[in-house]
Amino acid sequence: MNDEQILIQRTQQGSHAAFKRLYELHVTPLFRFMRQFDRDSDQIEEWVQRAFIKAYTNIRQFEGTGKFSSWLFRLALNEMKMDRRSAAIIPLETVFDEDYSPEYDTNEYDHFEWHDLMKSWLSSLSDTKRMVFILYEVEGYSHAEIARMLGVGESTSRTILTRTKQFLQTQWKKANEF
The verdict on domain 111-175 having CATH code 3.90.1150.10 is: no
* Domain definitions of the chain by residue range: 3-87, 111-175
Amino acid 162: pLDDT: 93
CA distance 63 to 132: 23
> pLDDT of the chain along its 178 residues, tens only?
688 899 999 999 999 999 999 999 999 999 988 888 887 889 999 999 999 999 999 999 888 878 898 889 989 988 888 887 665 444 444 444 444 444 444 444 444 455 677 778 888 888 888 888 888 887 788 898 888 888 889 999 999 999 999 998 888 888 777 5
Amino acid 100: pLDDT: 41
Amino acid 89: pLDDT: 41
Amino acid 178: pLDDT: 56
26 C-beta neighbours (distance < 10 Å), count:
20
Amino acid 114: pLDDT: 58
Amino acid 18: pLDDT: 95
Architecture of domain 3-87: Orthogonal Bundle (1.10)
**DSSP strands (E only) in 86-132:** none
Cα-Cα-Cα-Cα dihedral sign, residues 146, 149, 153, 156? negative
- Tell me which amino acid residue 4 is: E
CA distance 157 to 87: 27
pTM: 0.61
